[in-house]
Amino acid sequence: MKRTQLQDLTTVTEAAFQREYQSLRPVLEAEAKVQQQLARLNAQVQQSRQEIASAEGYRVTGTDVLWNGWESATRRELNLQLARIRSQKLAALADLRIAFGRKQAVSNLCKNHR
């Protein structure tokens, strides 16, 4: 294999690796966003439990039942979103591993060629 071919191969594998790396970034950002929403929901639940314990009005009007239903549905939806995002992340990580392996193989090939 000629030196220029190895350099071209190195450039192509680096570009492929960077493309895969950049495609992972929005997935990681989406995962972080959903995790923040879940954390915010947990904080709201803690706060509402403290308020419900100190106020009788919630139970009398049935607001606590409505709140628990909303919280449960919201938590379920966020967990579904998180599961979808994590499956996308696993697929993107698999592609990234392949691209990284190719990049390393070409790098080792260049070192051995020299």
Please answer whether residues 81 and 34 qualify as being in contact, where contact means their C-beta atoms are separated by less than 8 angstroms: yes
User: What pTM was estimated for this model as a whole?
Assistant: 0.74
Q: Where do the structural domains in the chain lie, given as residue ranges?
A: 3-113
Name the band, by pLDDT with cuts 50, 70 and 90, for residue 57.
low
Expressed in percent and rounded to 5, the helix, strand and coil fractions of the chain are: 95, 0, 5
What is the widest separation between alpha-carbon atoms in the chain? 82
**Contact of 17 with 100, CB cutoff 8 Å:** yes
For 81, other C-beta atoms within 10 Å of its C-beta total: 16
CATH topology of domain 3-113: Helix Hairpins (1.10.287)
Per-residue pLDDT for 6 more than 80?
A: no
